[in-house]
Structure 1
Amino acid sequence: MNLSATLLLAFGMSMDAFAASIGKGATQRQPRFSDALRTGLIFGTIEALTPLVGWGLGTLANQVVLDWNHWIAFVLLVFLGARMIMEGVRGGANDEEPCRRHSFWLLVTTAFATSLDAMAVGVGLAFLQVNILWTALAIGCATLIMSTLGIMVGRFIGPLLGKRAEILGGVVLIGIGCQILWSALGA
């Protein structure tokens, strides 16, 4: 695979994380760049690791992962999205509330759910002549950039949406989960 194909793949794989990051940035009250970078690092690291895992599984020809990865992503994203919607309906953030950071484990779970497609890509890459380490690194770097940007874009969208930002973030996560499931079942 040439450099341009690798970069296109990397940025394509980062789009789910970008959308989820916009939702997360919108639910935080004025996230700092350090919060955005933290999210980007978590998402990027997991997005870089999952194609490696997928490649390893692909070399073992483990069809089970391919058969179930879209269901796992769907369930995780719907669960996280529903949780965000319930928190938004209960009251959401109010103006006196200090800047809220998403927990490490919530970010890891979201990152894992949005990166399962990268694991499936890794399985496919096991059958091609690619340098999986460079490809995984490109995917991770693209996701780091896009997730960090997503949080910062969400920072500006959040104040416009007010208390509805958490609900919108949950809807985005559920939408990503449904899109992953639809793509897998429609293929």
Structure 2
Amino acid sequence: MASSGPIQRPSITAQASASMPSKNPSMASPRKYLGYNFSFICPFSIPPTSEAAAIRIIKNMISLGLYYLQFVYVVLFIALIPRRKVSLVYLVATKEITFLYLLLLRALPNSFVLHKIIDKRFVLFLLCIIIGVEMILTRAGIHLLITLVSTIPVILAHAVFWREDLHLVNSEDGCDANGELLPVMQNKDGGDAADESTNLV
């Protein structure tokens, strides 16, 4: 005798869920939780000797010289805004020439003339001399003098106290050869850096 009523078929999702083995929380693979120790370091430090201070000043002047020049330029630009409009125009024009020269150095990295024959430091020094002459001829020499007197001590203080010897360390105690603490994040377990954690500065 045939059934005239509706026939309910088993759901596919119900079959799939029945065929899949149930996950037992106790059988799940244990996750390895890594503990991290955060320690912040200051990029400024007092040099131990006067020779170390001189070496640090030279290194920072070489590596951060453009930033120091930009700082002096901004202060001089602000000082010239109220009354020395002509001097301001000459200053901006010289700055644009310097900017184009640096772009040319970046655009031609393999140029023998720009990188070997013509020294970049000599060109920047020459442009600074041109700015000084422009300020004197446009009667803004006092502004330049006040700017240099107020910015050079700040630059020297930054060059003395700024450290550039920060680098990655993989030792367990987190110290470099000089005994200074370097890591910002380090694994507590002290395991292999390639497998468990990375030491960052």
Q: Identify whether the pair has TM-score above 0.5, normalized to the shorter chain.
A: no
Name the larger-Rg structure: 2
TM-score, normalised to structure 1, is 0.29
TM-score, normalised to structure 2, is 0.28
Larger relative contact order, structure 1 or 2 (CA cutoff 8 Å, min sep 6) = 1
- Larger proportion of helix: 1
